[in-house]
């Protein structure tokens, strides 16, 4: 195995966990915020999709003058009235496929990429493609955990129980 195939395998594992946590919810459940935070399953799905799309744009553009789009991020964690959970699920799946294709096409994980400046990072920083991809994986795993907690709160389903059932355990 190569480092790229290892990264793809990790993306596949984390994407599977995320999809287990979000699959099968209704539109109403996708918008629900059953914990003390304002996070919803639909909002997390949208956020992860937009984040991965944004990171690949950062890598491919490698724009030394890029700035984080604060206005564009205003509703990144919520489904707006004109959006649907099903629509974002399709976009997530397309972005996942795009991520895998982009990883397969990556020839230099050490290439330095200028990161967009932002209020929390006003000075230009450069990170390797590897760092960005690992950051994307961390973000996906982090939000898969959020989605799993929300899903368990909504209907008692959890990624762990689904994996156990899929492995033939009687749970």
Cβ-proximal residues to 64 (8 Å cutoff; 6+ apart), any chain: 114, 124
Residues near 16 by beta carbon (within 8 Å), at least 6 away in sequence: none
Which residue, chain included where needed, has tokens 């939000």?
143
Sequence ranges of the domains in the chain: 3-166
Output the average pLDDT for the chain. 95
Once rounded to an integer, what is the mean pLDDT over residues 106-134? 96
Q: What is the CATH code of the structural domain delimited by 3-166?
A: 1.20.120.450
Question: Could you please report the per-residue DSSP string of 115-142?
Answer: PPBBTTB-S--EEEHHHHHHHHHHHHHH
Model confidence pLDDT, tens digit, residues 30-54: 999 999 999 999 999 999 999 999 9
What is the pLDDT confidence band of residue 158, given thresholds at 50, 70 and 90?
Answer: confident
Q: pLDDT for 59-101, tens place per residue?
A: 999 999 999 999 988 899 999 999 999 999 999 999 999 999 9
Give the pLDDT confidence score for residue 166 in this predicted structure: 87
Measured CA to CA, the distance from residue 88 to residue 19 in angstroms comes to: 12
Nearest Cα to Cα of residue 144 among 10, 15, 7: 15
DSSP designation for 68: -
């Amino acid at each position: 195995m190569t480092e790229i195939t290892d990264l793809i395998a990790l993306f596949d594992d984390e994407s599977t966990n995320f999809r287990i946590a979000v699959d099968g919810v209704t539109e109403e459940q996708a918008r629900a915020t059953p914990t003390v935070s304002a996070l919803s399953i639909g909002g997390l799905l949208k956020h992860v999709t937009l984040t991965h799309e944004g990171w690949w744009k950062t890598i491919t553009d490698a724009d030394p003058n890029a700035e984080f789009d604060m206005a564009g991020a205003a509703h990144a964690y919520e489904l707006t009235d004109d959006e649907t959970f099903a629509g974002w699920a399709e976009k997530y799946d397309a972005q996942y496929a795009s991520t895998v294709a982009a990883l397969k096409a990556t020839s230099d994980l050490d290439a330095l990429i200028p990161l967009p400046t932002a209020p929390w990072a006003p000075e230009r920083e450069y990170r390797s493609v590897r760092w960005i991809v690992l950051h994307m994986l961390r973000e996906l795993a982090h939000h898969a955990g959020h989605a799993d907690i929300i899903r368990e709160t909504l209907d008692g389903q959890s990624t762990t129980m689904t994996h156990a059932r899929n492995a033939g355990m009687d749970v």
